[in-house]
Amino acid sequence: MLDQILLEALNGSLAANEQRVAQEAQTRDERKAEGDRLDIAREDEKLARKNLADIAKAERDRLRAEKEEAERREEMLAQAEREAKREAAAARRAAENAAAQASANSIIMEAITRNANAIASAQIQGQAAVNSAYATVDAINAQRRADAQAAAVANQSRAAAEAADRQAEAARRQLDAALNQSRNITQSGGQTGSTSTGLPGISGGLPSVKVPSGSQGTTRSSENRTIVIALGGGTASTPLAPTAKQTLGDQGSQGLSLASAPVSREEALAYCYHKKEKDPGFGADAWYCDGPTQNTLTNNPLPEALGYVGCRDADYEGRSVAFNKGLIFFCEKAIAPYDSNISERYKLPGNILARRNTYLCKDTSTTCTRENAINVTPGRGS
């Protein structure tokens, strides 16, 4: 009986233990399944986070690329705008140079025409004076012959004939003296020009003329000679010579007005700089300049600073060269003797000096710009 009770108790205990073991195994399986599910969820969450990070990184890369592309396009547009401005400025300068050259050519041709007309007028007046001189000589000779014939036919009084002879002889001596003087001048250097003969009634001389050998009223010679003839005076037996206003001596005394020789002058320069770390732009109050007239000590916008130093007309957007942490500007006018020479002060190199324009001016001191220069020769690369 006791054994039966113990056996039942043992069987009950074993059954309870097996039930507990089975329940624990089931719990472990459930917990393991739950852990696996959580692991999968965590892996999914990690993957999702990684995908979100990749998407965010890709978006950032896209935005950065778009920004860089926009900046590159803006830089290209700015560069194209600068190039367009430079080309427009170059075209404008080329047009101005062509207009200045055409104006200079017109002025030169006008001067040549005036000088040619003056020379032609002088030649005409000289020829008229020569013809007048020949006519005077012929008239004197004709009068002499008429006097001789009248003396022979009318048997004028001896006193009048002797007076006429003495006067004619005096005129011949004066003519011979003039011819001898002309020969001496010709032999001494072949000079030509107006030479006075000392005959009465003529205040100036006549131009050199060619007189054939054996001509009436001249000394006979075996060859043509260049002589100077100036006849004048009038007596009872000789006609009056041309007045002083009819001779080239007085007319030619005015001469030709010849302009002084033009002067070639280099273009004035200015050196400007700023003390900013970044380029402040031409309109900022940051620029200091040193130019033909002075050196600024206060900062100003670039156009004003250039004006203060005597370089107001500089094309600061189109014509400038980098130099010594600043810029060299070209003043669009010739340097004057009293101006400061920036090229010497800063020892500028040849590649900058070659860009200067050269102005052909009327003199060395007058302000010389494109408007009043005879000619403007553009510099290389300007």
Asked which of 252, 274, 297 is the last residue of a domain, the reply is 252
Q: How far is CA 25 from the centre of its chain?
A: 107
> What is the distance between the terminal CA atoms of the chain, rounded to a whole angstrom?
133
* pLDDT at residue 321, as a whole number: 95
Q: Is residue 52 part of a domain?
A: no
CB atoms within 10 A of CB 100: 21
Q: Is residue 286 part of a domain?
A: yes
Q: What is the mean pLDDT of residues 307-320?
A: 94
58: tokens are 């890709």
Q: What is the mean pLDDT of residues 28-45?
A: 89
* pLDDT at residue 260, as a whole number: 62
Lowest-confidence region among 49-58, 67-76, 255-264, 313-322: 255-264
Task: For residue 307, give the amino acid letter.
Answer: G
Asked which of 217, 252, 287 is the last residue of a domain, the reply is 252
Q: Are residues 247 and 129 in the same domain?
A: yes
Q: Are residues 239 and 304 in the same domain?
A: no
Most confident of 158-167, 193-202, 216-225, 301-310: 301-310
Q: Is residue 373 part of a domain?
A: yes
Q: Are residues 200 and 302 in the same domain?
A: no
Q: What is the pTM of this model?
A: 0.36
When pLDDT is cut at 50, 70 and 90, the band that residue 65 belongs to is: very high
* pLDDT at residue 178, as a whole number: 81
d(CA 226, CA 193): 11
Q: Which domain range does residue 278 map to? A: 261-377
Q: Are residues 248 and 267 in the same domain?
A: no
CA atoms within 13 A on the CB side of 133: 30
* pLDDT at residue 157, as a whole number: 67
Q: What is the mean pLDDT of residues 177-193?
A: 68
d(CA 107, CA 375): 10
Asked which of 206, 227, 252 is the last residue of a domain, the reply is 252
Task: For residue 19, give the amino acid letter.
Answer: Q
Q: Are residues 267 and 230 in the same domain?
A: no
d(CA 41, CA 23): 27
Q: Is residue 203 part of a domain?
A: yes
283 or 248, which is more confident: 283
When pLDDT is cut at 50, 70 and 90, the band that residue 149 belongs to is: low
Q: Are residues 149 and 185 in the same domain?
A: yes
Q: Is residue 100 part of a domain?
A: no
Q: Is residue 46 part of a domain?
A: no
Q: Is residue 150 part of a domain?
A: yes
Q: Are residues 315 and 207 in the same domain?
A: no
* pLDDT at residue 381, as a whole number: 59
Lowest-confidence region among 169-183, 237-251, 282-296: 237-251
* pLDDT at residue 230, as a whole number: 38
When pLDDT is cut at 50, 70 and 90, the band that residue 335 belongs to is: very high
d(CA 357, CA 375): 10
Q: Are residues 146 and 221 in the same domain?
A: yes
329 or 157, which is more confident: 329
Q: Are residues 179 and 276 in the same domain?
A: no
d(CA 30, CA 333): 100
Q: Which residues of 39-60 are buried (b: 16+ CB within 10 A; e: fewer)?
A: eeeeeeeeeeeeeeeeeeeeee
The total of structural domains in the chain comes to: 2
Locus of tokens 């037996």: 237
Q: Are residues 239 and 142 in the same domain?
A: yes
Mean pLDDT (the chain) is 78
* pLDDT at residue 201, as a whole number: 40
When pLDDT is cut at 50, 70 and 90, the band that residue 150 belongs to is: low
Q: Please state the three-class secondary structure of the chain as a single string.
A: CHHHHHHHHHHHHHHHHHHHHHHHHHHHHHHHHHHHHHHHHHHHHHHHHHHHHHHHHHHHHHHHHHHHHHHHHHHHHHHHHHHHHHHHHHHHHHHHHHHHHHHHHHHHHHHHHHHHHHHHHHHHHHHHHHHHHHHHHHHHHHHHHHHHHHHHHHCCCHHHHHHHHHHHHHHHHHHHHHHHHHHHHHHHHCCCCCECCCCCCCCCCECCEEECCCCCCCCCCCCCEEECCCCCCCCCCCCCCCCHHHCHHHHHHHCCCCCCCCEEEEEEEEEEEECCCCCCCCCCCCEEEECCCCECCCCECHHHHHHHCCCCCCCCCCCEEEECCEEEEEEEEECCCCCCCHHHHCCCCHHHHCCCCEEEECCCCCCCECCCCCEEECCCCC
Residue 237: pLDDT over 60: no
Q: Is residue 283 part of a domain?
A: yes
How large a percentage of the chain has pLDDT more than 70? 74
Residue 274: pLDDT over 90: yes
